[in-house]
Structure 1
Amino acid sequence: MTTPTPLTWLYAPGDRPDVVAKALLAGADAVIVDLEDAVAPDRKAYARAATAELLSSPQPLPVHVRVNALDGPLAEDDLRAVAPLPGVAGLRLPKVTTRAEVIRVAERAVPADGGAPALHALVESALGLEHAFAIATAHPALRGISLGEADLRADLGVRDDSGLDWARSRVVVAARAAGLAPPAQSVHPDIRDLAGLAASCARGRTLGFLGRAAIHPRQLPVIERAYLPTPAEIERAEAITEAAATDGGALALPDGRFVDKAVVEGARRVLALARRK
């Protein structure tokens, strides 16, 4: 059976193994252990060693590790330490700007037999955004692409959240065109603003995102509610798939809606998402 695409990703700092252990039990679909922004420079070596020790055995849910910047001196050590570990399901590559960076990591981290963690590119600059499709198609080991919105917002100098809508749509289209899963939204930095988080998730869902990264467990239920189909959406999807089962071509439903193959496929995705729990 195919593993469902995670809806909730929970970040935890790599230099806090106690926090990582709690994150694994917090109810997220996947955990991201961060060796980059969440770790102070003088704690980088400890974070790497602690993460390697923790993930030296298989984990009960997918765990990705965000390594340090690929153009800096720490990424090579990070990749060497964590890529082979049985508890690592994926590697998050920060601040990717070109396909060549993905290829270099894949050549280091992916053995000839293909038994390696999936790669996930984070686009965090205007240059990376311009190269989004090239990055998304850089290597078979790349399984996802998404935005790092804090850095991107600073790079673009946008004044409010709506200024990122074009960038968000760009990465959604790049992922789809490359045959990747829909990207998850970037984190909502205010952990107390749950109403704002819900509104932002609703906007992200409209733009084509699927799920979201979180920085605190209290954000997880809000993200899940926002991205799981509503009862009305499930009812509509069931009506479409039932009608399609008796008619191989385009058809009109009793309420006047026109249904073709693309609509049926969308309805099936809704039902698969609803049945994931």
Structure 2
Amino acid sequence: MTPAPPLTLLYAPGDRPGRVAKALASGADAVIVDLEDAVAAPAKDGARAATAALLREATPVPVQVRVNDVRGEAGRADLAALAGLPGVAGVRLPKVADPGAVRFAAAALPGVPLHLLLESAEGVERAFELARADPGVASIGLGEADLSAELGVADEAGLAWARSRVVVAAGAAGLPAPQQSVYPRVDDPDGLAASCRAGRALGLLGRAAIHPRQLPVIAAAYRPSAAEVARAREIEEAAAAAEETGTGALALPDGRFVDVAVVRQARRTLALAARAPGRRSDPIG
């Protein structure tokens, strides 16, 4: 069975091994070691070497690595350094707009799940094509900071269409629901919670964070409420009864009927609710 995608992910800069260690103990479902935007050009060689050393063995939680743009020398060096390392749970490819670049990364890292970040208007327009570029593609999602800058988007409302576009493309390609891009304000938990609720309403599931204190806010926003779980259990019980008796139609106690798609959604809700809550830990400073 394919493991469920992580609900919370935490970025840590690859040139700061201490922060990476704290991220691994933060309670995030997965850690993203960043070799791209968080690392200045003079530090990239050292970050790459430190990350490769870390991933020569298994890690306490899955580690994905955000590499540099694979069209450039730094990105190609990142792929070469990560090839064959047992601790690499996935690679995040930034600024993806060309299916050829996806296939290049897949050939360099056979068997490694690829997570595509669409950060340009062209990337969003080609979302489905990119999602189907190679069997190694495990997810697609937006890089909202670069996309907003390119489009002149003033706030999150302007990203609703792009978010929906990647949700539809992921579904059409048979991929999991996209995860939400980072929320840049660490000191605004209410804003983060509201943003997560808006993303969840559009079909996104889970989110990357830039600080450990964002993790419980993300987890709470994306986990189903008690009312949602109760309704899902009611639907699942009706489905089980129908399967046992051979009844085609599913009727709830209040007389409402549900179809197969509703049952599938209820089972997803129950699976999501069953995930263990994340742990809190000291800030990464």
Normalising by structure 2, we get a TM-score of 0.93
RMSD: 1.1
* Distance (Å, rounded) in 2 between the aligned partners of 1:77 and 1:172: 31
> Number of aligned pairs?
272
* Distance (Å, rounded) in 1 between the aligned partners of 2:248 and 2:195: 37
Given that 1:228 and 1:274 are in contact with CA atoms closer than 8 Å, whether structure 2 keeps it comes out as yes
Q: What residue is the counterpart of 1:270 in the other structure?
A: 269
* Distance (Å, rounded) in 2 between the aligned partners of 1:213 and 1:250: 40
Q: What residue is the counterpart of 2:221 in the other structure?
A: 226
1:81 aligns with 2:81: yes
Matches within 5 A, 1:187-202: 187-202=182-197
Q: What residue is the counterpart of 1:175 in the other structure?
A: 170
* Distance (Å, rounded) in 2 between the aligned partners of 1:212 and 1:10: 9
Given that 2:83 and 2:108 are in contact with CA atoms closer than 8 Å, whether structure 1 keeps it comes out as no
Percent same amino acid at aligned positions?
A: 63
Given that 1:98 and 1:134 are in contact with CA atoms closer than 8 Å, whether structure 2 keeps it comes out as no
Q: What residue is the counterpart of 2:70 in the other structure?
A: 70
Tell me which amino acid in the other structure corresponds to 1:210: L
* Partner SS, residue 238 of structure 2: helix
* Structure 2, unpaired ranges of 5+: 277-285
* Distance (Å, rounded) in 2 between the aligned partners of 1:255 and 1:59: 49
Q: Deviations over 1:226-245 (max 9, x none)?
A: 11111111100000111112
Tell me which amino acid in the other structure corresponds to 1:267: A
* Distance (Å, rounded) in 1 between the aligned partners of 2:148 and 2:4: 30
* Partner SS, residue 88 of structure 2: coil
Tell me which amino acid in the other structure corresponds to 2:10: L
Given that 1:26 and 1:217 are in contact with CA atoms closer than 8 Å, whether structure 2 keeps it comes out as yes
Q: Using the TM superposition, give the Cα deviation of residue 249 of structure 1 relative to its aligned residue in structure 2, in angstroms.
A: 2.5
Q: What residue is the counterpart of 1:97 in the other structure?
A: 97
* Distance (Å, rounded) in 1 between the aligned partners of 2:3 and 2:102: 24
Q: Using the TM superposition, give the Cα deviation of residue 2 of structure 1 relative to its aligned residue in structure 2, in angstroms.
A: 4.6
* Partner SS, residue 74 of structure 1: helix
Tell me which amino acid in the other structure corresponds to 2:60: P
Normalising by structure 1, we get a TM-score of 0.95
Q: Using the TM superposition, give the Cα deviation of residue 275 of structure 1 relative to its aligned residue in structure 2, in angstroms.
A: 1.2
1:254 aligns with 2:253: yes
Higher RCO (C-alpha 8 Å, min separation 6):
2
1:12 aligns with 2:7: no
